[in-house]
Structure formats: structure tokens, C-alpha cells
Structure 1
Amino acid sequence: MGFPGTWMTESESVIYRVVPKCACSTIGQILYYSDHGRFYDGDIHDADEGLHKWAQEASQPVISRAVTERSAPAFTCVRNPYTRILSSFFDKICGVQRNGKRYRGNLVPMIMQKYGVETGGPDGQAEFDQIRSFRRFLLFARDTIRWKKPMEPDIHWSAVSGHVGTFIANGGRYDHIFWTERFAEGMQTVLDTIETPHPVDLAAIPRFNESAAHGPERAHPVEDYFDDLSMHLVYEIYHRDFELFKYDFENPANKMPVGEIDLDEVHAKLGD
């Protein structure tokens, strides 16, 4: 199976397992900058030069060798399940993508019809009941993950532990896992352990939130979107994320971690 979702600098200074909706655009640009002294002009996910990516066939043997020989440190970044699934809803379901179309073609019309989800009109900017529609979307997300119906789960709302785990199960090992919510601290720890062709001043790096303008603004605090049933569904889908990455299931208003990530525990539980 190899190492899907894995990127590496061309200088082979560091390996990164991409997790969607977890600061991946900013991290990718930092890695690109560390090799080239400039940012990629566009969405880093579209870059087909300047970074090794598993999706590029020529990069696969280079990444495989670096991972299996552990010749470069490997890291990833995780995020609170409550804010991540909310972000996925506003970006991918309500938002118009950068190509001017809805995400995945008929996906949005299908969940509007089958689940009664509203999305804010053709451009995602009209008034609608965000809380009601999000809770209906959450049912859809649960159905895709639990039963793979009416479609396979999408990478943007499948569990973080699933993304993180494929790297481990196929023979990789992480040196660092940090939280999106403490991004500067975590990313600096990674940068402090590697040598790069170009130094990175993290304080001067902009945040590349490629999904920021896609959808409507969130109109309510995070906790307002999650009633008792919604919390139950979130736990059903993401219980491993809460457990392994030390997030607070009991309080959706608290996006910050409540403990330290135990790398040995992560490897033991996701290495099956």
C-alpha cells in the first residue's frame, strides 16, 4: 500500500503525513519554502514540482526509502474533531470550491435531497439554519464512515486517526505529532530538529488557509452546533481521535487538548 498522503522535501530533510483540515496548506508551504526560499504560487496541493508527494509516481521510491530507513524525521498535525467536522461542513458542503464548482460534483445535491441539508444557496452566502443543516450533515458523515453509504467516507471528514494510522501500519514511525491548536509551538519543534537549505522564520510565515473564502461564515459558537445526539455521533465517529490526541469530548467549547500525546500509545494502537 505504501505511504499515501505523505509528502517530503526534495532535500529529504523531513517527512510529513498530510491530514486534511489540519493546517496542511500552511505546512506544505513551509516545507516548500524551506527548500526553495519562496512559497509555491498557488494552492500547495496543486504543486507537481518542488515537493516529493506520494501521489507522484516518481516520488514513491524516494519516500519509501526515507520512511523505511528513517533517514529523515516524520511528523503530522492533528485537530479537535468538533472544529474539524464543522470546518469540513462549511468548506466542502456549503462552499464553492476554487474551480467555481461544488465539491465532488453531485455530492452536495445528493445530501440536500437525501438528508435535507441546506447550503446557503448557489454561492453559499444566503441565510439558512446552519445548526439544523450541520446536524443533518453529521448524520450523513456518520453513515459514510459506519456503513460506507450512500458513498465512501471523504478524506475531509474521515477520522484523523485513520489518516495518521496508515503511515504507521505500513512501516512508518512518527517523531512528532502536534496540534493545530498549538501550531506555532509544534511546528517550531519540528523545525528545530531539522536542517533546511533555507531557514524558516515561523513568526513571519503567513497562514495559508486555502478554504477560508469557500463557504459562509460560521454564525454561532462551536458548542451551539452540538446537542446531546450530535455529541454522541461525533464520539461514535471520532472516539479514537479524542482518546489518542487528548481532546475534550465532554466540552465542544474547549478546542484545546487536555493532555499530552503519547507517541508510543499512538504507534501501538494505530499500528495494527
Structure 2
Amino acid sequence: MNSLTSPYITAVLFTFLFMSLMWFWGKSRNNYAVIDVGWGLVIAGIGSVFAILGNGTFYAKFVILVPVWIWAIRLSGFLYWTRIRTDHPEDKRYADFRKDYGNQVHRKFFTNVFLLQGFLALLLSGPFVVASDWQLDLFSVPSVLIFPILGWVLFFIGVFGESLADKQLHSFLSVQSNKGKLCDAGLWKYSRHPNYFFEWVIWLGIGIIPLASGISWAWISLFSPFVMFILLRFVSGVPFAEKYSLLSKGNIFQNYQKTTNAFFPWFPRKFQ
């Protein structure tokens, strides 16, 4: 792994510069929700740094970078068109941060939000690190492709599921008569946060791909879906969404919590 020192240092510098530019963009627009747009792009950028500077073969870099860039463009594009380009009000999370940060709002957003998310993005770089040193040859042993194929299948299941969940929620909220109501139809009938679940499936697929490399430390690739699960389920995903749903929908959401799984989809329980 000694040969990866330079790529990792470069990735750290890239992350710092990219997040600094995103912070400046958010400050100039007075809307720090731009960080959500930058999240996918900084991760794809980190993957590209490792691909460019690593010693792995073209095929190894291809099987990792293609799904990551598909994910990043879909996520960042969706958030840009629905939240930034339309001048959507700043997310409630960031509005609350502004109140907490007081007269140090800009400095704390830079350190506590933008740089922190940059650090978390670097924690997800395991698959890129492995792929950057992976000597994959598509024309050697067919069994080598088992993990890449399985990873791509999981990835596209995740992309389809997350896109469908987003579409169902957007369609529900676009109906005027549904204002103030709870979306519990479609995928939202089986999970309170199907979008977060399928986001994790995407990263599970990406994390599995490099396990075929044969590199002794390839297991670090699985650290990415593990970190993503912790973030989505216990840190920045479900907890924040549940907090604001309880504030806005009260008893309706509490009843929803009693019948529907928070993360992993399953058949709803009977309300008691």
C-alpha cells in the first residue's frame, strides 16, 4: 500500500479544495444546502484521483468509476434541479445550524459541515483504494468477474429503487390535496426511508466489486457500505428526517413509526 501514499495525499488536498469552493458557493448564495449537491461529486472526484494516480488496470478503474459517477450525477443533478436551481428554501437542518452557530455561522459551516463531510467522503474511499492497485484482466479467469457482476447488479437495484422512491414521494407531494399528509404508498409502505435503504444498497454493490481483486487488504472496500449504513441509519439520514417529520406531522408520523420499519423494507405491522 506504500504506492498509495501519494494518491491519498492528493485525494485529501482535492477534497479540501473542492469543499472550500462548495462552501464559498453556499456562502455567496446564502444557502448552504449546496453541500448536498457537492456530496456525490466530491466522492466521485476522490475516486477519479485514485484512478488517475493508481497503478491498477483500466478495467479495474472502469468497473468502480462508472457506477460511482452514475450515482454522483444522478444524486447531485437531482438535488441541484430540485433544491438549488429552483431557489428552494434552505434545508431545515441547515436553518437550525444557523441558529446554533450564531455569529460564527460561516466559519462553523466550513469546519463542522463542509470539511466534516469531506472527511466522511474520504472514509468511503476504500473501493477506490483497492481498485487503484487492482490488476484486473477481463480475459483471464471468468470467476474473477463474479464480484463485479454482483456488485453492479446490487448497484442498479439501488439506483432503480432510490429513483422510484424519490419519484413516488415527489408525485405524492405534488398533489395539492396531499399537503400535510404522510406518504405511505408504494415503497414508502414498506420502509419509512426507502430512499436511504436503496442508497445503502448502492454502496453495498460498490463495496463488493473490488473483493475479486485478490489483494490481501481488499476487505477495506467493505468499510464503505458499513460507514454509509451508520451515517444513513444513525447519524445524518434517518434521525434528522424522523426529527422533522415528528415536528411537522406529530401523531400521524408516530403511528407510521409503529407500523413501518425505519430502514429495511418489510411488510407493515398492524396498528395497535
TM-score by length of 2: 0.30
**Greater helix share, 1 or 2?**
2
| Greater C-alpha radius of gyration | 2
TM-score by length of 1: 0.30
Q: Relative CO higher for 1 or 2, CA cutoff 8 Å, sep ≥ 6?
A: 1
**Greater strand share, 1 or 2?**
1
